[in-house]
Structure 1
Amino acid sequence: MRRSRITAYVTSLLLAVGAALTGAATAQASPALAATGYVALGDSYSSGVGAGSYISSSGDCKRSTKAYPYLWAAANSPSSFSFTACSGARTGDVVANQLTPLNSTTGLVSVSVGGNDAGFADVMTTCVLQSESACLARIATARAYVDSTLPGKLDTVYSAISAKAPSAHVAVLGYPRFYKLNGSCLTGLSEAERAAINGAADYLNSAIAKRAADHGFTFGDVRGTFTGHEICSGSAWLHSLNLLNIGESYHPTASGQSGGYLPVFNGLA
């Protein structure tokens, strides 16, 4: 009887250890490694505007084969890859037009959105064409929007992603600072304008990072990888004002996608 109890105890102990080891292995497995599919959502910073090599079927969305989602998919060969990010997309556009590929088997999602909602294009137009005071006032308006309205819009996007792809690991990518201060630019915006634009990027990133964390998503901060490659750095990975192709202005180059965004996404996926 005593031996029976000892045998039962040892057996139960071994089963418990086995279960613990199995659980540990499961906990350590990257959600991305178990992914049955990768879906890339978002705006022009994810579609690859500014990187060239646009996929003809993507039309005005300007999805590039040099964008970080395409580069990651080519290197990692997920079982499926859906690239729905689109130039000009706002939070409402992501919800309305980009979520169809998501499902219960989606393992990995990337998204960048919020800049267009906050009026990024209008901020840059104002700063380039109008006075310094007008520029700073427009930036202040954008920051107020980030405080009052953007968090709710991001919540809507993130909740919709979770509802359609509940098992997915979701990586939220931020935005770079645009300018190297006291850099090589001799003309154009004032240093006060450049500093204010950089500050607005930081402000936007902080808001996005908080909402991402509150939804259990991971945030990818690209400001570090772009440091030394801002406009006015002499080695820019961002287009400055481009009058020949205005839509590419202030967007990452192909080097910005591969050297600025891809390493950060690699660290999250």
Structure 2
Amino acid sequence: MLLAVVLLTGLSTVVAPAADATPARYTGGTYVAMGDSRASGGFFSPTPDYFLGCKRSAFNYPAIVAVMTLPRRFIDTSCAGAQAPDLYRTTQRTNRGTKPPQAHLVPRDAQVITVSIGGNDMRWGAILVHCNTTPLNDRRCRHNPRLENEVRWRIARMENRVRPALRAIRAKAPHAQIIVVGIGGFMGSHGCWPMVPISDPDVRWMNRVFDRAGDALRRATSTVGGTFIDANRRSAGHDPCNLIAPWYESSLSNGSLAYPYHINQQGAVAIAAMVNGAIRR
């Protein structure tokens, strides 16, 4: 039932203006998944890919996209902790050694490339930590000028790092459909202590911060003629305070079975449906 619902909701997306590249329609060719923990999953699966440094779950959203699209070849380069430079020019350090730039595994004939990146470049956790509170208290992050200035430069830094990464990916696969999945989604319209220990007004403020981050990623995506999926806005109502159908883990996750404020299994299915609906055939 959940899969049917998210398949329907995934049929509409925002397509950025075309750039010089001419992405081809999908005909079952190579699909490459790139990015950080939003792509790798970060929720436990007893598989080698999970333990080899990148926390790559067997049922992350790229794996589900592959089931939906049946590509002739599927390459998953995603790795938890990745930053934009790790996609194309730097080696990424993990607890199981270094990983080469993810773009090294992108073939020129790739037809679809999904990218989840920017959260580690922005380091949104450094903003969110200022807002954590106890029941009935309010940290008033939304009224903190210093924090607002920090939000602005963190989002600008993220955009400036993501743009060249996407351009490098475009250079590797000039005719691929590049689909960028935005960040956020785990802040809704209210808090719910202890799962989301933030005051209601600050939760709404953080949600708008992720809207702004998504707008920055949308702009970066437009430079390569890609498609942007606004995961923050499209996840409305599925934050951790939804006890029936949350798409994201709460702050109570200890990191061993799932990362706090990261996509869970339901969320992986939902994001995969959004991606599937964005692919031009």
Whether TM-score is above 0.5 comes out as: yes
> What is the aligned counterpart of 1:254 among 254, 257, 265?
265
Query: Match for 2:174: what amino acid?
Result: P
Q: For this pair of structures, how many residues does the alignment match?
A: 236
C-alpha distance 38-179 of structure 1, shift in aligned 2 (>3 A): same
State whether residues 106 and 168 of structure 1, in contact with CA within 8 Å, keep that contact through their aligned partners in structure 2. yes
Gaps of 5+ in 1: 1-29
Give the structure with the higher percent helix.
Answer: 1
Separation in structure 2 between the aligned mates of residue 146 and residue 223 of structure 1, nearest angstrom: 15
Q: TM-score scaled by structure 1?
A: 0.79
- Structure 1 residue aligned with 2:17: none
State whether residues 45 and 252 of structure 1, in contact with CA within 8 Å, keep that contact through their aligned partners in structure 2. yes
> What is the aligned counterpart of 2:165 among 146, 151, 157?
157
Separation in structure 2 between the aligned mates of residue 69 and residue 152 of structure 1, nearest angstrom: 25
Q: Secondary structure at the match of 1:234?
A: coil
- Structure 1 residue aligned with 2:33: 40
Please say which structure displays the higher CA radius of gyration: 1
CA deviation profile, 1:23-60 (whole Å, cap 9, x unmatched): xxxxxxx835235311100111111113x325323423
State whether residues 238 and 248 of structure 2, in contact with CA within 8 Å, keep that contact through their aligned partners in structure 1. yes
> What is the aligned counterpart of 2:208 among 199, 220, 223?
199
CA deviation profile, 1:108-158 (whole Å, cap 9, x unmatched): 1000111111112322334337982568544641332213x3322111111
Q: Which moved more, 1:239-248 or 1:196-205?
A: 239-248
- Structure 2 residue aligned with 1:103: 107
State whether residues 190 and 204 of structure 2, in contact with CA within 8 Å, keep that contact through their aligned partners in structure 1. no
Q: Which has the higher contact order (CA 8 A, sep 6+)?
A: 2
> What is the aligned counterpart of 1:231 among 237, 240, 245?
240
Separation in structure 2 between the aligned mates of residue 123 and residue 143 of structure 1, nearest angstrom: 11
- Structure 2 residue aligned with 1:21: none
State whether residues 139 and 197 of structure 1, in contact with CA within 8 Å, keep that contact through their aligned partners in structure 2. no
> What is the aligned counterpart of 2:230 among 195, 204, 221?
221
- Structure 2 residue aligned with 1:79: 72
Gaps of 5+ in 2: 1-22, 91-100
Q: Percent identity?
A: 26
- Structure 2 residue aligned with 1:122: 126
Separation in structure 1 between the aligned mates of residue 249 and residue 147 of structure 2, nearest angstrom: 21
Query: Match for 1:103: what amino acid?
Result: P
State whether residues 143 and 200 of structure 1, in contact with CA within 8 Å, keep that contact through their aligned partners in structure 2. no
- Structure 2 residue aligned with 1:263: 273
Separation in structure 1 between the aligned mates of residue 36 and residue 133 of structure 2, nearest angstrom: 24
